[in-house]
Amino acid sequence: MSSCPFCALAPESAGDDLVAWRTPLAFVVVPTQQRPRNRGHMLVLPRAHVTRLADTDAELRAELYGVVGRVSLAVRKAFDATGVTVFQNEAAPDQVLHHLHVHVVPRRAGDDFRLPAPEKLVLTLDERIAQARAMRAALA
């Protein structure tokens, strides 16, 4: 889907500064908006444009959630988090991007995490690139 910003990042050659990891079927990117107290939020996505988890096959689900597992450990290391919250929306009322994606959010004491986020910060490109670099190091 040409207008999908996630599909634009899926190919091997695209947006590497913002891609923390690519596997044959999945990839990890740093979202533009993050909760101010949960910086280091990552998105894990299938490289193919899929909109519903129910439309994925067992191979893709296994790889996607295998990557989620690795990322859930790596965000703690990269961003000094004590834990993570993992979630995925499908056609939620406030959802604007419909390429299937799993959120991995680093958690810390007193971060007051809620869904939907009461406030979000638009990160600078430099901060997003730095987060992707920190994740690549933590995943290595």
101 is catalytic: yes
Site for Zn ion contains 86 (CB under 5 A): no
84: Cβ–Cβ under 8 A, 6 or more apart, which residues? Answer: 72, 75, 76, 104, 105, 106, 107
Find the binding residues for Zn ion in span 110-129 (CB under 5 A).
none
Structure tokens at 5: 């910003």
Strand partners, 34: 121
Q: CB-wise, 45 or 71, nearer to Zn ion?
A: 45
CB 84 within 8 A of CB 92: no
Interface pick for Zn ion out of 6, 21, 27, 79 (rule CB under 5 A): 6
Nearest-angstrom CA–CA distance, 116 and 54: 23
Nearest-angstrom CA–CA distance, 16 and 135: 13
Phi, psi (degrees; rounded to nearest 5) at 116: -70, 165
Q: Considering CB under 5 A, how many residues would be counted as binding Zn ion?
A: 6
| Active-site option among 41, 99, 101, 103 | 101
Site for Zn ion contains 101 (CB under 5 A): no
Taking CB atoms, the residue at the shortest distance from Zn ion is: 4
Interface pick for Zn ion out of 4, 97, 130, 139 (rule CB under 5 A): 4
Stretch touching Zn ion by CB under 5 A, among 20-28, 83-91, 95-103, 122-130: 95-103
Q: CB-wise, 1 or 92, nearer to Zn ion?
A: 1
Residues making contact with Zn ion (CB under 5 A):
1, 4, 6-7, 49, 99
